[in-house]
Structures are given as C-alpha cells and as structure tokens.
Structure 1
Amino acid sequence: MATYRNFILAALILAFGVVNLGAYVRLSDAGLGCPDWPGCYGKLTPHHAVDAINAELAVRPDGPVSHAKAWKEMAHRYFAGTLGLLVLAIAVLAWRGRRETNGGPALPAALLALIVFQALLGMWTVTLLLKPLIVSAHLLGGMATLSLLVWLWLRERGRFSHAYFARVDHLRRSAAFGLALVVMQIALGGWVSTNYAALACTDYPLCQGMWMPPMDFEHAFTLHRELGETASGELLPLTALTAIHWTHRTMALIVVAYLGWLVLRLLRTPGYAGMGVAVAGLLALQVALGIANVLLGLPLAIAVSHNAGAALLLASLVALNYRVRRR
C-alpha cells in the first residue's frame, strides 16, 4: 500500500496549501474575483473570460472583479479540485485494499464526503456573495479536511513504536479539551476574518484605548445575515465588529493559558517532551502573529501566516490526540 500512503501524504501537503491559499484569496478580497462557479464567467480560465472581466471593470472599476483577483480565485479552485481528485483516489484505494490498511475504508469515505460538502460550501460562498456563515463554515471545513488527513496519515504510517511512550490515560481528556479549544478559537478567528473585524481594535493589549470598549454582542453573533449587515439589513455597527474582535482576543488568552498548562504536563511525561515543545512553539508563534496583525494594520503576509499557524497548531493537537489514544 505504498501508493496509498504516498497519496495520503500528497493530499495532506496539498490540503495545507489549499487552506492557506483560501486565506490569501479571502484576505486579498478576491473571493468574488469570478462571480460564478465552478468556472469564471462560464469559462475554464480567466484568460478565456477576459472580455467578460473587461466589461465588468468598465462598469465597476473599483468592484470585486479584476484580472488579478480572477486568477487568484481560480487558482484556489484548481488546487482544491486537485485535492478532491486525490481524496477520491484515496477512498478508492482504501476500499480496494481494505484488508491491507490499518483502519479500513471508513475514514477515507468520510473524508470524501467532507470534500464534496466543501465543494458545495465553495459554490455557496460565491453565489451567496460571501455570506459570513458560509465563508466561516468553508474555512472550518478546510481545517477539518486537514485534520482528517493528519489522522489518516499517522494511522497508515504505522511506524510509531508505542514502547517509546509512557501510559498517558491521564492526558486523553486534557488533549481532547485542548483540541476543542483550538477549534473554537479557529472558528472565532474565521468569524473575525469573514466579517472584516480584524482592525476593529488597532491597539494592544487595550482595544480602542479601553479594556472593555462599547460592544454589541447581539448583532456580532447573529449568524444568519449578509456581509456587513445586521439581520434586519442595516449596516453592521462598529460596536458589533468590536465585539467579534474582542471575543477572539479574549478566547486567545484562555487558549494560551490552557495549552501552556498542557505543555507543562507533556514536558513531564516520558516520550512527549518533543510534542510539548512543538505545541509551545506554535502557540508562541500564533500569539506573536496575532499581535503583529493588530499593531501593523493587518499586512497580507502576516495575516496569511496567522492562518497557516492556526492550521499547524491544529495539526499538532490532532497528532497529540492520535498518539495518546493509540497508546
């Protein structure tokens, strides 16, 4: 099953790239670079849709469509489509070699179903004009795809000698709760990004010069609404954007405190010090990138790196949970 494992590794690497390419598309305001799906103005590439793009630019030169944005959007679709084909191949190979895999075809089948749902979310992201709930769900779907591929790769790799690890039953709940906290923080980060609330607070550690600025939590966390609007169609107020940003920032403190405690436990557990150091390093990097985003005005490179750091931190927690449960 060497081909099977190679496909999983290739899909894992590609999934990490697709997650971050999606962040780049979103953060560079290219999500509507091609306002239809799956093509670009019904064409295979922006090159073939050049007349339609030029016509749109003539009407709205400052609108969401441009040649550069169209290529960014379509590049994301091309890579995501390639990932989908890889996952399909993995599911087929897992079924054909179900007696040779380490866990059977159930997980690859679930992964394939997730990819299909991701494709639907990608379509709705465009057709529903970047509705925050859909875009956030698309981000979480990408992170879930990455997580399942990490788990599948570790399972099929099959080269971890359990003798190197101490009994860690006491770490199972702690690791699972840490993973849940990171998922919640990623969801909040996605909500910040999809609502363009990253610069609602431009100072740190204060927010608008206060520890508790005026905030509107009701409108901030109303899920079913259009981009930049309340559920009633009014302009989303700054106080709502502030509430979104402040909640993400506050949750970050909880995640740092809990994962810091978890890292200390890992450092004291034989065989897990390396994982503890990895989690600590990725956590410190995420905090630094988050603060830099605020103080430097959300530079594109740092914002995308913050998304990549979240994906790596999530992957490290998935790997930790795999190890403590497989022991």
Structure 2
Amino acid sequence: MKKLVLCSLLLALVVIILGAYTRLTDAGLGCPDWPGCYGHLTVPSSNDTVAAANAAFPERPVEAHKAWNEMIHRYFAGALGLCILAISILALVRKEPDTPTKLPLLLLGLVIFQAALGMWTVTMNLLPVVVMGHLLGGFTVLSCLFLLYLRLHARSSQMPRPGNVHVSGLALTGMVILVVQIALGGWTSANYAALACTDMPLCEGDWLNRLDFGGAYSVPEADNYEFGAHDYAQRMTMHMVHRVGAVITFLYLTWLGLRLILRAPQSRVKLAACLMLAVLTIQLGLGVSNVVFSLPLAVAVAHNAVAATLLLVMIWITYSLYRYQGASYG
C-alpha cells in the first residue's frame, strides 16, 4: 500500500503539470465534450471522423494538438483515479488497526469531485471559479496523498508524538499563507492575467489609481471565458495582488526556514527547512522570469510544478514538527 501511495503521489504531480500545460497552451476546450473527445475515446484523426466532429461542433473545429493535450491530461487523471480507488479498497480490506481508512476514503471522494470539476470546466466554458477550483482540487489530492504516505511511513518507523505545538502552528500558518498564494495564482491564471503587468517590481502606468478589487474578484457574465472576460484594470488588480502575496509568502517562509535551521534540534527538520528555502528561491525566480520573459511555456509550467513541490515540503515540515516530541526551539 505504501508503494502504491508513492506511485499515486508521483502520478498526481504529473497530472498537475499536465493540467498546467493544457491550460497554458489554451487547450482547456481542446475537446468540447466530456469525458471523450468529439464523441470518441481518442482525438479524431481520419478525414471522416474529423468532418463529423466539425459538423457536430461547428463552433469548435478540431485542433488536433490542443485536443491531444487535453486528452492526455484526462488519461493520466483517470489512471490516478483508479490508483486512488485501489488505495481505498486496500485500506478497507486490510485488517490492521493502524491502517488509515478515513484519509483514503476522503481521497476517493476528492478525486470523484475533481472529475466533476473537470467536466464543468468544459461544459461551463472555462468558468474561472471552476478552473481555479479544479486547480486547487488537484493540489488537495496531491497533499492528501503525501500526508497518507507520511502517516504510513510514521507507522512503519514508529515515530514518536506529539511534538512542539507552538512551532508546528507557525509552520501551519506558513502553509495556509502558501495555499492562499496558490489560490491567488490560480485565479490570475484562470483569468489570463499573468501578463497584465510587464514591468518589475510594480506595474506600468498609473496602476495604483486603476485598482478594482470588486471587479477583479467577481465573475462577469459571458458565454465563453476562454482568454478572459475581465477588463484590463481588473486583470491588473489580480496580477498585483498575486505579486503582493508572493512577497508576503516569501518573507514569512524565509523567516520560518531560518528559524528552523538555527533552532530546530532535529536534523530532518533542518534538512526540510533548507529544502524549503531552496525551492522558495527557485519559485521566486520563476515568477520573476514569467514577467520578464513574457510567460515562456516551460517557465510557466515549472512555476506550477514548483508551487506543488513547495506545498509538499511545507506539509513535510509541519507533520515532522507535530510528530516529534520534546523539541526545544528557544
């Protein structure tokens, strides 16, 4: 079960990366129906099937490269769902009293809801709330799988508990700040606002007097949300809020990481803190590069992947601080 959870964890990370790639290549509606593609299990390729698909969806003619991006993402997501189903069945079948059961069942519910969000993403034409929810759902599945893996590892290694409640609370606060920042990034991406500001460190022009928080965090009525439905001022507001969130996240996590390196008595906590600072620095560099180099595809995808990695490191730190007993941090 532990190996299956680890494989599912890696698969979930791949699904998040593929989801980011699909979104950033404007392939979210590459297949206008769900769960198939133009009524097929694969992308239509022959002249007859392409002609039939174009006739059935005249507003969305077949673009094979976008359709394949979308379908590959769905194939991997489906494989992840089957793995989580297997984990849930194993958790219920095994009779050991210390085998987690609630978390696998929660994961199963989450992945079913994720499938529904994936369907609504298509049927609601990339409604930003649904797109952001789908992104956060993927991060939630990844986090729960990692937490399950940590619990299984702690069971096998008989790690002591409980730990330092105060310091684990500081780490939990950092994780909440990070999740909020990921949500802000998801909203910015879902509304195509990643390039609303092209200057650094602030936005160009009279940006301060053009901020529109009410409009930026509302959903305007539209038939299709592909390429965004907000005006420039609203997108610029999303972008600047995400930048401010990045500064707050960077400062808090840097302070927390240095505190743990200097005061934590456990070597694994120090190691995790060092890793967190390294990943945080990479993430900051990727965020700046997105603006400076006008959102290169590889950099933008990496920005999503590193955000997921940073969240996993924060979960590791928080869980380790909670599990260890007798910690003194000065």
- TM-score, structure 1 as length reference: 0.90
Identify the residue that residue 243 of structure 2 maps to in structure 1. Answer: 249
Question: Aligned in 2, Cα 1:54/1:64: closer, same or farther, shift over 3 Å?
Answer: closer
- Does the 8 Å contact 1:166/1:270 carry over to 2? no
Aligned residues: 318
Question: Offset of 1:169 from its aligned partner?
Answer: 2.7
- Map of 1:83-162 to 2, 5 A cutoff? 83-99=80-96, 102-158=98-154, 159-160=156-157, 162=159
Q: 1:24 to 1:260 in 2, by over 3 A?
A: same
Deviation at 1:218, TM superposition (A): 1.2
Contact 1:15 1:83 in 2 (8 A): yes
Residues 245 and 53 from structure 1, CA distance in 2 versus in 1: closer, same or farther, beyond 3 angstroms? farther
Aligned pairs for 1:221-300 (under 5 A) are: 221-223=217-219, 225-226=221-222, 236-267=230-261, 268-271=263-266, 272-300=269-297
Once superposed, what is the RMSD of the aligned Cα atoms? Answer: 2.6
Shift of 1:47: 3.8
Kindly state the Cα deviation for residue 63 of structure 1 after the two structures are TM-superposed. 6.0
- The whole-number CA distance in structure 2 between the counterparts of 1:53 and 1:270 is 63
Change (3 A) 1:138 1:309: same
Aligned-partner Cα distance in 2 for 1:227–1:86 = 36
Q: Which sits farther off after the overlay, 234-243 or 313-322?
A: 234-243
User: What SS does structure 2 have at the residue aligned with 1:222?
Assistant: coil
> Which of 49-58 and 180-189 deviates more?
49-58
Aligned position for 1:70: 67
Q: Is the CA contact (8 Å cut-off) linking 2:222 and 2:229 kept in structure 1?
A: no
DSSP-derived class of the 2:22 partner = helix
Say whether the 8 Å CA contact 2:220–2:230 is kept in structure 1.
no
- CA drift of 1:12 comes to 0.3
CA distance in 2, matches of 1:246, 1:51: 48
Flag as ranges the 4+ runs of structure 1 deviating above 2 A: 47-65, 158-163, 165-170, 209-213, 223-229
Paired amino acid for 1:293: N
Offset of 1:157 from its aligned partner? 1.8
Cα shift at 1:173:
1.1
Q: CA deviation at 1:129?
A: 0.4
| Distance change in 2, residues 1:242/1:307 (3 Å) | same
Moved more, 59-68 or 255-264: 59-68
Higher mean alpha-carbon deviation, 76-85 vs 312-321, is at 312-321
Counterpart Cα distance in 2 of 1:70 and 1:39 = 10
Cα distance in 2 between the residues matched to 1:53 and 1:98: 52
Name the CA distance, whole Å, in 1 between partners of 2:56 and 2:116: 30
- 1:185 partner letter: Q
1:98 offset after TM fit, Å?
A: 4.2
Structure 1: which 5+ runs fail to align? Answer: none
Cα 1:68–1:157, aligned 2, differ >3 Å: closer, same or farther?
A: same
Show the counterpart of 2:191: 195
Aligned to 1:205, the other structure's residue is in SS state coil
| Superposition TM-score, scaled by structure 2 size | 0.89
User: What is the percentage of aligned positions where both structures have the same residue?
Assistant: 46
Which segments of 5 or more consecutive residues in structure 2 lack a partner in the other structure?
325-330
How far 1:324 sits from its partner (Å)?
Answer: 1.6
Distance (Å, rounded) in 1 between the aligned partners of 2:143 and 2:290: 25
- The 1-side partners of 2:46 and 2:80 are apart by 24
CA distance in 2, matches of 1:116, 1:33: 22
Counterparts of 1:314 and 1:226, CA distance in 2? 33
Counterparts of 2:128 and 2:137, CA distance in 1 = 14
